[in-house]
Amino acid sequence: MKYALIALSFLLPATVFADVKLGYVDSERLLAGMPAFEAVQKQMEELKQQYDREVQEKYNELISLEQTYRRQSLLLSESRRSELEQQYQEKALQFREFSESVFGLSGKFQMKYEGLVAPIYAEISAAIEAYAKEHEYDMILDAAAARGLVVFARQELDLTDNLLARLTATN
């Protein structure tokens, strides 16, 4: 009897999961295949160039102030030298703060990107959910998720092309 219970405990998980229907998608491929995402990429490239110019201007101001200080430092009085050093320190701090506010993790550039792609991700998620319900999938995993949730899967389980066709047909 004891051995029957042990054998049953090994077989139970197999029977519980035997009817589970799984699939996976590559969300990066889905995103790359969306025409709306191409427009976002173009818009972000233009914005990056604009921000790069602004950061470069501030950097040039900082370098100019440093060069002025170096050229004139021997000729300046102690008070004027201190004043220029203080200006340089303030400019350097402003430059770092500006750079961080534009390109930092929660900077303007990142926030703009997240705002533009959020509706695209929402559309992809809705399409995945609708597809899963229509085709009675119990679970759909994302092969492109951080560190990948899918270590191995048969190609027949890849739903990316089906979903990409659905997403591009609606646009």
Q: What percent of the chain lies above the pLDDT cut of 70? A: 84
pLDDT band at 91 (very low <50, low <70, confident <90, very high): very high
**Beta bridge partner(s), residue 139:** 22
CA neighbor of 118 nearest in space, from 37, 23, 11, 21: 37
CB-based contact 69:92 (threshold 8 Å): no
104-113 pLDDT, tens digit per residue, is 999 999 999 9
19-60 pLDDT, tens digit per residue, is 788 888 888 999 999 999 999 999 999 999 999 999 999 999
Name 159's Cβ contacts closer than 8 Å, sequence gap at least 6: 23, 24, 25, 128, 131, 137, 140
148-163 pLDDT, tens digit per residue, is 666 556 778 888 898 8
How many of the other CB atoms lie within 10 Å of CB of 166?
A: 16
Name 27's Cβ contacts closer than 8 Å, sequence gap at least 6: 124, 142, 143, 144, 145
Q: Is the pLDDT of residue 61 over 60?
A: yes
Q: Which residue has the tokens 């959020």?
A: 118
Tokens found for residue 161: 């092309």
Q: Is the pLDDT of residue 1 over 70?
A: no
Q: Is the pLDDT of residue 102 over 60?
A: yes
Q: Note the Cα 8 to chain centre separation in Å.
A: 46
Name 155's Cβ contacts closer than 8 Å, sequence gap at least 6: none
114-140 pLDDT, tens digit per residue, is 999 999 999 998 898 899 889 988 888
Dihedral of the alpha carbons of 76, 81, 84, 90, in degrees to the nearest 10: 180
Q: Is the pLDDT of residue 98 over 60?
A: yes
Q: Residue ranges per domain, the chain?
A: 16-170
Consecutive H or E run containing 69: helix 35-72
Cα–Cα dist 7/117, whole Å: 50
